[in-house]
Amino acid sequence: MDNNSLEKKRSSSERLDHVADPNVGKGEHAVTIDAETGSWDSAFAKRTIRHVDRRVLPILAALYAISLIDRTNTSNAYVAGAARDLGLYIGSRYTIITVIFFVPYIIFELPSNIVVRRVGCARWLGSIVLAWGIVMLGMGFVKHWWQLAICRALLGLLEAGFFPACAYLISTWYIRREVQKRMTAFYMLSVVVGGFSSAIAGGISELKGKRGLNGWQWIFIIEGAVTIFLSFLAFLFVVDFPDKNGFLSDEETKFVLARLAKDRDDVESDPWTWGKFWSYMATPKLWAFGLLFGCSTTVSYAFAYFLPIIMVGMGYTDLNAQLLSAPPYFASIFIAFAGAWASDKYLIRAPIIMWQAVLSIIGLSMTAFHTRNDVRYAGVFLGLAGANANVAGVLGYMQNNIVGQTKRAFTSALVIGSGGVGGIIASTTFRSKDSPKYRPGLWVTIGANFIIIIVCSIMTAVFSYRNKQVRAGKGRPIEGKVGFFYTI
């Protein structure tokens, strides 16, 4: 796309006379553009949004699925022979190789979100996926556990730039009442595919002995090769930000930019400054979103890293433990999409998140304290469903209640970095000495869900108070935008 075309598209977002809505500021939520007014009819609007959905979401979901598989396949490798070959059962070695991923993962997320807009989404995401695919393939040839730990640290460094950039990119394409279903589609499709990684790994591990390699080595090698292949698709199919896109027509871009401007008026990128950085750092609600996300990922990472191992502790064979780890992930998609549908339809976020936390508490309690293995396994379905739904739910909650490109980039990095802290907590609270039931770790995940309920309750009270205050003409506009109200 040439610069003249881009400038025309950008300037078109400022000419909103034909979509003016006299009701702006009267409701709880920002008023969205009525696609049947002015020069855009409903058929054109639906067709354009579907076009955006097809181009933005599938490729990001596929890439994030392989990201989840690559970061969590250590549990599959553990039961496929790495525990014996590399001595991962000794002391805290397995905990170290899981935890070390998250140190660079947390540190380098914000720098990545600053770079992605300058470099371009396809170029940036494709490059880091290619790099971590090479690292993943190399993990199949390590001879000592500390070499695997080094590779895991490199993997964390490279993956740090991926998920925050995806969440940031998706949030820039959709208005607030649409974003929850899209975030859920992106995340849950990735999680479901990633959930079958245990079954896939079980099949791959049957290559044990081929070319003198053990099953765990084949897991890393084949999954690394798939990652490298997908990186080339990223270069071809990942789209850029709305104001820089090259796949929509001029008229479609005008429509997308105009509805985003009407919803929250943050289409244009604002420059980074140290003043903004420290202002964002001092904003309590951003840290509250981070706490919610960290608690959600504590549960989801606990299942990702330890479910096959817990299943072995229930008495299942290594292969059956891998296979039985997949169905709960598939079942969780129904809970997540039901919550996302209700969340967008009724424009509520926190109540849905709290309900999903309750569901997770019920399931985790069944897994932790029941004596029958079939009931404990049933609890995995509920616990995992609530946890995975809340990962996407918190991201939608966060994206609905912030305005501005730099603030959106900062918050995405902060919140997802907090998710890395959840990964560290999950990695360190499920200890080998607590097998086979791992009750201390399950207690921690139950506690994380109680924190989610408490924080959501506090934020709901604060957000409701501020909305009432602004509607009454008191206090400053929320997020500095007249007519903007918090999504509860």
Give the per-residue pLDDT at 432: 66
272 pLDDT more than 60: yes
Residue 1 has pLDDT above 70, yes or no: no
- Work out the angle at residue 291's Cα, subtended by the Cα atoms of residues 289 and 297, and round it to the nearest 5 degrees: 100
- Cβ-based burial of 15 (10 A; exposed 0-12, middle 13-18, buried ≥19): exposed
Residue 127 confidence (pLDDT) above 90: yes
Residue partners of 465: CB distance under 8 A and separation at least 6? none
pLDDT digits (tens, 9 = 90+) for 164-217: 999 999 999 998 888 899 999 999 888 888 777 777 888 899 899 999 999 999
Its sign, for the CA torsion 330, 58, 67, 288, is: negative
Residue 487: pLDDT band with limits 50, 70, 90: very high
Q: What is the mean pLDDT of residues 50-63?
A: 95
The confidence score (pLDDT) of residue 39 equals 63
Checking if the pLDDT of 279 tops 80, the result is yes
Instruction: Pull the structure tokens for residue 192.
Output: 């479901």
What does the mean pLDDT of the chain come to? 86
Distance CA(208)–CA(188), nearest Å, equals 31
Angle at 24 (CA atoms; ends 35, 476), nearest 5 degrees: 145
| 278 CB neighbour count, 10 Å cutoff | 10
Angle 217-223-225 (CA atoms, 0-180°, nearest 5)?
100
Top-confidence residue, 471 or 270: 471
Residues composing the chain: 488
* Average pLDDT over every residue of 109-117: 85
Cis peptide before 436 (omega within 30 of 0): yes
Amino acid letter at 275?
A: G
Residue burial 455-468, b: 16+ Cβ < 10 Å; e: rest = bbeebbeebeebbe
Instruction: Give the torsion sign (CA, 62, 65, 70, 75).
Output: negative
Q: What percent of the chain has pLDDT over 90?
A: 57
Cβ–Cβ under 8 Å, residues 88 and 98: no
pLDDT of residue 2: 44
Q: Using CA of residue 143, residue 145, residue 148, residue 154, what is the dihedral sign? A: negative
- The Cα–Cα gap between 223 and 200 comes to 10
- What local confidence, expressed as pLDDT, does residue 483 receive? 85
Tell me the pLDDT tens digit for each residue of 302-352. 887 778 777 887 888 777 887 788 889 888 989 999 999 999 888 899 999
Residue 355 has a CB neighbour count (10 Å cut-off) of 19
143-152, 264-273, 322-331, 368-377: least confident range: 264-273
In this model, does residue 290 exceed pLDDT 80?
Answer: yes
Residue with tokens 């698709």: 233
pLDDT at 34: 43
What residues contact 257, with CB distance under 8 A and at least 6 apart?
Answer: 9, 10, 12, 13, 242, 243, 267
Task: Please give the Cα distance from 426 to 101 (Å, whole number).
Answer: 13
Residue 429's pLDDT band (cuts 50, 70, 90): confident
**pLDDT for the residue 186:** 92
Mean pLDDT of 447-471: 97
pLDDT of residue 463 exceeding 90, the answer is: yes
As a 3-state breakdown, the chain gives helix, strand, coil percent values, each rounded to 5, of 75, 0, 25
- Predicted local distance difference test score (pLDDT) of residue 395: 93
| pLDDT for the residue 128 | 95
> Is pLDDT of 368 > 90?
no
Evaluate whether 438 touches 313 at the Cβ level (below 8 Å).
yes
Q: What is the pLDDT of residue 24?
A: 36
